[in-house]
Amino acid sequence: MLVAYLLFSVTDVSVAWLTAAGLPVLQLAFMRFGTHLALSTGPMMGRDHSGFTAPARQALWMLLRGALLLTATLCNFVALTYLDLTVVAAIMFSSPIIVSALAVPLLGERVGPWRWGAILVGFLGVLVVVRPWGAAFHPATLLSLTAATALALFSLLTRRLSGEAAPRTMQLYAGLVGTIALAPAAFLAWENPATALDWGLLFLIGAAAWLGHHFFGLAHGYAPANVLMPFSYSFLIYMAAAGWLVFGTLPDLWSVIGAIVIAASGLVIWWRERGRAT
């Protein structure tokens, strides 16, 4: 899990670097999904082709899942153009809180007072980070919130499909939807990177994301989700460190406070879910 979130942070830092270098967001998003698709299909070649097919009902759900990941990725990449890395990471970590809230109407799960309290406090933490009432507010934070919501729906759909669809099949569909949807606009907006470093980062965006998902899946093969969840908050540390080391930026006090509130709320939800599971 620690390696997975390190790789996810590499993707986001690379995107922030390349957008600052003037490369279009649609081009970066296409490379993220195109490289993902190439790596998902390549390892399957020469084995069997079962990962390429799925029953019609599963295929429709996986296409929707891919569309949600595409939405989350586009909104996140645009937000990274305008916001500090730590702010983006903090807002994105409202996703587990949104998952708990949406699990009631969508999955029929029961949520007790402890978890409802944590959900409400978590959203207060989001408000502290976003600060819609002050001069610090940037409209790009709304894109981060949209990305977090799309990611929450993506997670719920993944939960629904787990045990029915093979993980590599879901990886394939996720890459396929984004690649096909973005290809026309990406080629029209394409700009060649100016340096060898930028070329390398362009391909690293998708490779790091794909490898991160691979390690994420491996981790869940060794331990249940309710044990692994706290390690996901390493992402906040990685993003804060990268913001300082790469861009020379540090989050302000309110962003730090909001991130701590969001993380604490997520950990309360994890604690209650783990207690219920045991």
Instruction: Work out the pLDDT band at 47, boundaries 50, 70, 90.
Output: low
Q: Rounded distance, CA 126 to CA 91, Å?
A: 6
Instruction: Work out the pLDDT band at 45, boundaries 50, 70, 90.
Output: very low
What's the average model confidence in pLDDT over 15-24? 95
**Confidence check: pLDDT of 48 > 90:** no
**Confidence check: pLDDT of 226 > 90:** no
Sequence-distant (6+) residues with CB within 8 A of 89 are 9, 12, 235, 236, 239, 240, 259
Range of the domain at 85: 2-277
The pLDDT value given to residue 169:
81
Q: What percent of the chain has pLDDT over 70?
A: 91
Q: Which three-class secondary structure state does DSSP give residue 251?
A: coil
Q: Rounded distance, CA 121 to CA 109, Å?
A: 20
**Confidence check: pLDDT of 68 > 90:** yes
Between 177 and 254, the higher pLDDT residue? 177
Mean pLDDT value across the chain: 85
Instruction: Work out the pLDDT band at 254, boundaries 50, 70, 90.
Output: confident
Nearest Cα residue to 72 out of 88, 87, 85, 57? 88
Q: Dump pLDDT digits (tens) for 109-157.
A: 677 788 788 888 888 988 888 888 777 788 999 999 999 999 888 888 8
Instruction: Work out the pLDDT band at 72, boundaries 50, 70, 90.
Output: very high
Nearest Cα residue to 65 out of 145, 182, 169, 184? 169
Provide the whole-model pTM: 0.85
Instruction: Work out the pLDDT band at 46, boundaries 50, 70, 90.
Output: very low
**Confidence check: pLDDT of 23 > 70:** yes
DSSP result, 28-89: HHHHHHHHHHHHHHGGGTTS-SGGG---HHHHHHHHHHHHHHHHHHHHHHHHHHHS-HHHHH
Per the structure, the count of domains in the chain is 1
Token pair, residue 85, equals: 């890395």
What's the average model confidence in pLDDT over 72-89? 92
Q: Dump pLDDT digits (tens) for 153-200.
A: 888 888 778 777 777 788 888 889 999 999 999 999 999 999 999 999
**Confidence check: pLDDT of 107 > 60:** yes
